[in-house]
Amino acid sequence: MTAIPPVLVLVLAGGRSDALRALGRIRTASALPYGGKYRVIDFTLSNCVHSGLNRIGILTQYAPLSLHGHIGIGRAWDLDRRDGGIRLLQPYVRQRETNWYRGTADALLQNRNVIEDAQARHILVLSGDLVYKMDYAELIRFHEEHDAALTLVTVIAPSDEPERYGYVHADRTGRVSALEEKPKRSGGGAVSGAIYAFRAKELLDRLRRPGAGPDLVTDVIQPMIAEKARVFAYPHRGYWRDIGTVDSYYESNMDLVRSSPPLNLYDPDWLIYTPSEDRSPAVFGGQAVASQSLVSHGARVEGTVRRSVLFPGVHIGPGAVVEDSIVMHDTRVGPGASLRRAIVDKRVVIGSGAMVGHQGPVAEDVLVTAADARTPAPGLCVIGKGSVIPASTRIGPDALIEIGVSERDFPGREVAAGAVVRPSGRVAAARGATRGPV
Amino acid sequence: MSFVSYAMILAGGLGSRLCILSEKRAKPAVPFGGKYRIIDFALSNCVNSGIYDVGILTQYRPLSLRDHIGIGRPWDLDRKRGGVELLQPFQGWAETDWYRGTADAIYQNWIRVEEREAEHLLVLSGDHVYRMDYRPMIEAHLARGADATVGIAQVPKEEARGFGVVDLDGDDWIRGFFEKPASPPSGNISMGVYVFRTAALHAMLREDSERDTAHDFGRNILPAMVSSGRVLGFRYDGYWQDIGTLDSYYRANLDLLKPDPPFPLEDSRWPIFTPSTEFPPARLGARAEVRASILTHGTIVNGTVERSILFPGAVVEEGATVRDSIVMGETWVGPEAQIHHSILDKRVHVGPRARVGYGSDLTPNRSCPEHLSSGITIVGKETRIPESMTIGRNCRVSANLIEEDFPEGSIPSGGVMERELNVAH
């Protein structure tokens, strides 16, 4: 095995993603439950340890509690080490100037002492909210061989939403000539995978430049390319998904229950690690019907489950039908209830006979709030953490049930397609105070 | 200290009645209920009862158990004070040797008890499935001033024969203790859960060590204590299952699948801890059918599974059927294979279209009819069953066989499959 040169990994995991609606408000995207038992950041962390990288800093800012609780001391990844291991890097108060992380580059700049102290030759800057398997040792080798100041990983653009990606133009040797952010065009091509290997000195110099802006792409990477620094593209040909929107999150989970999933979680040489829970195995009742699904420990299936992902402790009552849905920890789906194309967060109670996402005649409803149409999620119902859906309620497709909605917040038995139900009598969560795309 | 803070678990058992399941591992290390080993129940009961200082006495094939327990992390037993320690026989002191029996095992490790200066000691068996808070029993033991207190379960009188049977008086003092009696005086049996006053136990162990006995708690220590001291019975009416035989093992596992199981594995107030595997969730394919079954992480089902328990990494391929069976970790059931009333140990490979536990002929097993007569077929670890092979009921197929070891066609009910032994040099 070739010795890997000293590398410090910094994972950006503090971003806030409004496009995740109720799923993203209480946690940063990196901490989103994924694939039945994981959190999204598990992919990045497991990639690190499988690649032999174990000096890792995780930059957090927005709603980090869930992420911090998940990572703990890094035991699940064997990162509770004497040398290296995991450090959580949160913004902190300083004597002179104190600021929240104002952007990805600013977050790195505020942690420049961590980078300096590491005395690493290369800094691998990763995003905690991506789903992919990748050997970073290969990337670092490529980066060294090309004597690159920066190697950025390119992936094939997922077909949808081209405006979410940055297109990379490179010549035949891999030398990058342009990184075009969020172009107004569609179609395939190599886009940046938000995985960067920097020469440490180069990164520090750029971050420290007076007047340097707060964003890693526009204020560091694009200027490097413009100034003809040695920036190379390293193509990643495997599965790669950014799960920053409700739709992309949903599709990526559904990829796992396809007949031949594009992402193999069962490869014994590249298992994805996550802290385990002390739950009993999944129990299927005598009347259970279950196919094309992932089912985790602590789940109990008495009804029907098809093309769905069930997280630990989910109970599906007798006669209930769950199809094309994602159901998170400890949610209870009552007898005879149905869920179709729904994402249900943790500890939700779906009353018996309730029909969520069901295509049927739904009456006009007073609950529609036009202001919340800013991130349309066509067809998918989202139910926020801890909400209670009263028995026999019908909820149309595309509806959003906010976090912590109780039975009395529903004025009637019907919630129209695209409607939003909020908890009444409760102050809306503070917004804007911690904005920052870290 | 008057409360009990140290427990010793007897886990050295050979468990010969579990047939090839315990051929390569001690009985407490036999897999159970999809993701557990039998010892997890006693260990979890200890920590859930607030006892975080545990010694495990091992002798027979301890490797599997040792790997399982490790440094005790799953039970929060990786501690600075207390924790878990495996107590294996050792040499070097005049009086140490292989353990001659359960009582001798504790006596040889008496230094561990002395160091703790505990007035009372909890002694448990590592081969029972139950959830028990030991604290009420300890309280009764202290309140009644007993030399020893024995946990008592109730079974039908005719089933009591295989156990230590006690005779209780009106105040629950034990008046007689009979190990595996031919005609049991009652259905009150010892659960293998004891609290001892340390001094009383020590005196008894010392006396016993000098005599020519089986050095066994059930056969020697308890009967002697009953005749000379104050031994209390503590009645326990929760689920308690001894995993002594293949039938009781099979039954206890399949009990978990009942609509209202007598022993639900999931109970957040009293979790059963075990090291977890890193496998992804159970995956069900497009043609999967799963009913009345238990699936663990890492199982992949593309066929039909009914009234069965699948351990981590077990795979049931398309068109295959698994019914009334226990399939252990990483066993592969090939396309269109049929598994009925069988126990497949770990990493067994069942070739396509093979049938295991086939037919209704219940001829008892040729070599061990006393343990294999109820229709269960058992296949040992890592054996590879050839394509289209048929294996009947009550069969015993040894571990580590390969396709070439099997005869053409079929093994009838009651059959035994072993590789012809080649003596290695």
State the burial class of residue B404 (Cβ atoms within 10 Å of its Cβ: 0-12, 13-18, 19+).
exposed
The verdict on A247 and A339 lying in the same domain is no
Average pLDDT (B259-283) is 91
Q: What is the pLDDT of residue A425?
A: 44
Task: Please judge whether B285 and A280 are an interchain contact, meaning their C-beta atoms are less than 8 angstroms apart.
Answer: no
If you average pLDDT over residues B108-134, what whole number do you get? 93
Say if the Cβ atoms of B34 and A280 lie within 8 Å: yes
Report the pLDDT value the prediction gives residue B94, as an integer from 0 to 100.
64
Q: Hey, are the CB atoms on A259 and B286 less than 8 Å from each other?
A: yes
Chain B residues within 8 A of A277 when measuring between CB atoms: 276
Mean pLDDT of the B151-174 span: 94
Strand partners, B195: B122, B149
Q: Say if the Cβ atoms of B34 and A296 lie within 8 Å.
A: no
Residue A262 domain flag = no
Closest among A36, A31, A33, A23 to A256, alpha carbons compared = A36
Could you tell me the pLDDT band of residue A432, with boundaries at 50, 70 and 90?
Answer: very low
Task: Specify whether A314 is located in the same domain as A191.
Answer: no
| Contact residues on chain B for A298, CB-CB shorter than 8 A | 266
Q: Please tell me the predicted confidence (pLDDT) of residue A368.
A: 35
Q: What integer best gives the mean pLDDT of chain B?
A: 91
Start-to-end CA distance of chain B, whole Å, equals 56
Among B40, B273, B277, B278, the strongest candidate for a mutation testing the A interface, having the largest count of A CBs within 10 A, is B278
* Chain A partners within 8 Å of B309 (Cβ): 281
Q: Where are the alpha helices (DSSP H) in B144-276?
A: 198-209, 222-228, 246-255
CB contact under 8 A, B266 and A298: yes
Encoded tokens for A36: 């039945």
User: Does A54 score more than 60 pLDDT?
Assistant: yes
Least confident of A289-303, B75-89, B408-422: B408-422
Nearest residue to B331 via CA among B362, B364, B299, B360: B299
pLDDT at A249: 95
Structure tokens at A368: 């529609």
Are the C-beta atoms of B329 and B347 separated by less than 8 Å? yes
- Number of H helices and number of E strands within chain A? 10, 33
Q: Fill in the amino acid letter for A228.
A: K
Pick from B11-20, B135-144, B286-295, B340-349: least confident: B11-20
Considering Cα of A12, then A18, then A23, then A25, what sign does the dihedral take? Answer: positive
Contact A357, A341 (CB under 8 A): yes
pLDDT band at B229 (very low <50, low <70, confident <90, very high): confident
Task: List Cβ neighbours of A402 (8 Å cut-off, separation of 6 or more).
Answer: A22, A384, A387, A420, A421, A422, A423
A307-342, pLDDT tens digit by residue? 999 999 999 999 999 999 999 999 999 999 999 999
A426 within some domain: no
Residues 9-68 of A with CB under 8 A from B: 35-37
Say yes or no to pLDDT of A437 above 90: no
Residue A369 pLDDT greater than 80, yes or no:
no
Give the number of domains in chain A. Answer: 2
Cα–Cα distance for residue pair A5/B68, rounded to 1 Å: 36
A130 pLDDT higher than 90: yes
CB contact under 8 A, B285 and A272: no
Q: Which of A297, A304, A306, A328 has the highest number of chain B CBs within 10 A, making it the mutation to test binding with B?
A: A297
In a domain, A207, yes or no: yes
Q: Which of A35, A3, A430 is nearest to A243 (CA)?
A: A35
A186-195, B255-264, B282-291, B363-372: least confidently modelled range: A186-195
The pLDDT tens digits of the residues spanning A371-429 come to: 344 444 348 999 999 999 999 999 999 999 999 999 999 978 999 988 999 998 443 33
Q: Are residues A120 and A36 in the same domain?
A: yes
Cβ distance B284 to A293 less than 8 Å, yes or no, reads yes
Where residue A189 falls among pLDDT bands split at 50, 70, 90? Answer: confident
Q: How far is CA A86 from CA A55, A111, A125, A276, in A?
A: 6, 15, 14, 18
What is the rounded CA–CA span in Å between residue B242 and residue B254? 14
Q: Within 10 Å of residue A251's Cβ, how many Cβ atoms? A: 15
Q: Which chain A residue is nearest to residue B256, measuring alpha carbons?
A: A283
CB-based contact, B258 to chain A, within 8 Å: no
The CATH number that applies at residue A44 is: 3.90.550.10
- What is the enclosing helix (H) or strand (E) of B231? strand B231-235
Q: How far is B47 from chain A (nearest CA, A)?
A: 14
Q: Hey, are the CB atoms on A295 and B300 less than 8 Å from each other? A: no
pLDDT score for A102: 87
Query: Which one has a higher pLDDT value, A199 or B4?
Result: A199
The answer as to CATH 3.40.50.360 being correct for domain B283-417 is no
CA-based nearest residue to A296, from A315, A312, A308, A276: A312
**pLDDT 10s digits, B195-225:** 999 999 999 999 999 999 989 999 999 999 9
Q: How far is A282 from chain B (nearest CA, A)?
A: 5
* Same domain, residue pair A201 and A328: no
Between the ranges A54-58, B79-83, B115-119, where is the mean pLDDT highest? A54-58
Band (B189; pLDDT cuts 50, 70, 90): very high
Q: Are B276 and A276 inside 8 Å of each other by CB? A: yes
Q: How confident is the model at residue A164 (pLDDT cuts 50, 70, 90)?
A: confident
Domain limits for position A355: 283-421
pLDDT digits (tens, 9 = 90+) for B311-357: 999 999 999 999 999 999 999 999 999 999 999 999 999 999 999 99
Chain B contact present for A417, CB below 8 A: no
pLDDT of B225? 95
Which CATH number fits the domain that encloses residue A330? 2.160.10.10
Does residue A276 sit within a domain? Answer: no
Query: Which of B259, B291, B295 is opposite residue A282, by nearest beta carbon?
Result: B295
What are the residue ranges spanned by the domains of chain B? 7-255, 283-417
Go through chain B and tell me how many residues it has. Answer: 425
Yes or no, beta carbons of B289 and A296 under 8 Å apart: no
Q: What CATH number should be reported for the domain whose range is B7-255?
A: 3.90.550.10
Q: Which chain B residues are within 8 Å of A291, Cβ to Cβ?
A: 284-289
For residue B206, give the 3-state DSSP assignment: helix
Phi, psi angles (nearest 5°) of residue A226: -60, -35
Q: In terms of domains, do A249 and A322 share one?
A: no
Residue in A207, A174, A210 with CA at minimum distance from that of residue A190:
A174
Chain A touched by B290 (CB under 8 Å): yes
Q: Quick one: pLDDT band at residue A279, thresholds 50, 70, 90? A: very high
Give one DSSP letter per residue of A58-98, joined into a string. EE--SS-HHHHHHHTTSGGGT---SSSEEEEE-----SS--
Sign of CA dihedral A98, A104, A106, A111: positive
What share of chain B in percent tops pLDDT 70?
96
Residue A365 has pLDDT above 50, yes or no: no
B386-418 per-position pLDDT tens digit: 999 999 999 999 999 999 999 988 999 999 998
Distances B423 to A34, B84, B419, B420 between C-alpha atoms, Å: 53, 39, 12, 9
Percent of chain A with pLDDT over 90: 71
Closest-CA residue in chain B for A38? B280
User: Given pLDDT bands bounded at 50, 70 and 90, which one contains residue A277?
Assistant: confident
Cα B28 from Cα B9, distance rounded (Å): 10
Residue-level pLDDT at B17: 67
Does one domain contain both A16 and A149? yes
User: Do both A52 and A161 map to the same domain?
Assistant: yes
Q: Whole-angstrom Cα distance, residue B29 to residue B37?
A: 5
The phi, psi pair for A420, rounded to 5°, reads -125, 130
The pairing of strands A166-170 and A176-181 is antiparallel
Query: Least CB-CB distance to B291: which of A35, A272, A286?
Result: A286
Q: What is the pLDDT of residue A359?
A: 59
Note whether A249 and A385 are same-domain residues: no
> Do A93 and A28 share a structural domain?
yes
Residues of chain A found within 8 Å of residue B298, distances taken between Cβ atoms: 266
Among B279, B281, B286, beta carbon nearest to A292: B286
How far does the CA of residue A288 sit from the closest CA of chain B (Å)? 5
Q: CA-to-CA distance for B197 and B217, rounded, in angstroms?
A: 15
pLDDT at B268: 87
Determine, for residues B284 and A291 on separate chains, whether the beta-carbon distance falls below 8 Å. Answer: yes
- Measured CA to CA, the distance from residue B33 to residue B265 in angstroms comes to 8
| Domain assignment of residue A269, yes or no | no
Residues A301 and A250 in one domain: no
Question: Is-same-fold flag (B7-255; B283-417)?
Answer: no
Identify the pLDDT of residue A3: 56
Buried b (16+ CB within 10 A) or exposed e, B215-234: bbbbbbbbbbbbeeebbbbb
A282 vs B298: CB contact, 8 Å cut-off?
Answer: no
What is the amino acid identity at position B60? Y
Q: Hey, which residues does B290 pair with through a beta bridge?
A: B305
pLDDT at A426: 45
- pLDDT value at position A181? 80
| pLDDT at B4 exceeding the cut of 60 | yes
Burial category of B185 from C-beta neighbours within 10 Å (exposed 0-12, middle 13-18, buried 19 and up)? middle
State whether B284 and A286 contact (CB < 8 Å).
no
A131 and A237 inside one domain: yes
**CA neighbours closer than 13 Å in the CB half-sphere of residue A171:** 6
Contact (Cβ atoms closer than 8 angstroms) between residue B138 and residue B195: yes
Query: B268 — alpha (psi -120 to 50), left (phi > 0) or beta?
Result: alpha
Q: Taking CB atoms and an 8 Å limit, are A289 and B289 in contact across chains?
A: yes
**What band does A159 get if pLDDT is binned at 50, 70 and 90?**
low
The reply to whether A309 and A230 lie within a common domain is no
Indicate the residue type of B156.
Answer: P
